[in-house]
Amino acid sequence: MGILDEKVAIVTGGSRGIGAAIARRFAAEGATVAVTARTVDPARSRLPGTIGETVDQIEAEGGTARAYAADLSDPAARESLVADVTGDLGPVDILVNNAAVTYFTPVGEFTDRRYALMFEVQVTAPFHLARLVLPGMRERKGGWILNISSLASRHPALEDDRLAGGTVYGMCKAALERFTTGLAAEVYGDGVAVNSLAPNRVVPTPGTLFHHLTTEDDPNAEPPEVMADAALALCGGTGLSGRIALSQDLLTELGR
């Protein structure tokens, strides 16, 4: 018996990295996982990993999952995603907003198109998806919404140029965290938990490796499985809500 038995979870950005790790962890605990992202054909992506591969990994480990291709920058695709998952798998109990489109570019060089796309995927899409699943969660008096954030949301020191080009990324994550606490307060009485989770350290994923933020052998990096364990803690009945949590700190707090 798993702690997520009979739960239906949507994990966005589930083709690789943190999203794939969370999808696998939730499935191992009994959830039926809707794995969604844009990447279906590996030949058309600059990064390894597809939603089909994540589903294959889950099923090979005895779990249950289904792949849903969706471009989360498209409002119609977001609506279709939730409608399809609900129709195929049942009401959504857990929503993990992990998908991201990220450009590390200094403000003076940022284009309007890239700026709009980052906010659409990292801020507007989580807002919209939450609105779509909330009616059912409120009706059932239970549910979990988890927004994946980053330490980039914190204010940098003037002398710290290590995250040069990360201003817009940090803006997106700061907005996502404020959305988290606000929504948590709104739905607290309905039994719906809303939290934000970020890694304590950079996670070696295809995205962070591509942007040279870490290396595969970095001894200071955080394995994606740590984020998956922390995500399970926030979506597995701890009763926590309104938290802007860091993965390792949370697990230490909970004695895990």
Please identify which of the residues 73, 169, 196, 241 carries the catalytic annotation.
169
Question: How far is residue 87's CA from residue 161's CA, in Å, rounded to a whole number?
Answer: 48
Question: Is 73 a catalytic site residue?
Answer: no
3-state secondary structure 165-203: CCHHHHHHHHHHHHHHHHHHHHHHHHCEEEEEEECCCCC
- Per-residue burial over 157-191, b if 16 or more Cβ lie within 10 Å, else e, is eeeeeebebbbbbbbbbbbbbebbbebbeebeeee
Question: Is 169 a catalytic site residue?
Answer: yes
Classified as helix, coil or strand, 52 is helix
CA distances from 116 to 122, 125, 153, 200 (A): 10, 12, 18, 28
Question: How far is residue 255's CA from residue 66's CA, in Å, rounded to a whole number?
Answer: 32
Helix axes 51-60, 17-28, angle to 10 degrees: 30
Given CA atoms 163, 168, 171, 173 in this order, what sign does their dihedral have? negative
Please identify which of the residues 68, 73, 153, 173 carries the catalytic annotation.
173
Q: Is 60 exposed, middle or buried (0-12, 13-18, 19+ CB in 10 A)?
A: exposed
Question: Is 173 a catalytic site residue?
Answer: yes
Of 255, 195, 253, 249, nearest to 222 by C-alpha is 249
Strand partners, 8: 32
Please identify which of the residues 15, 149, 150, 241 carries the catalytic annotation.
149
| Chain centroid to CA 183 | 16
Which of the residues are catalytic?
149, 169, 173
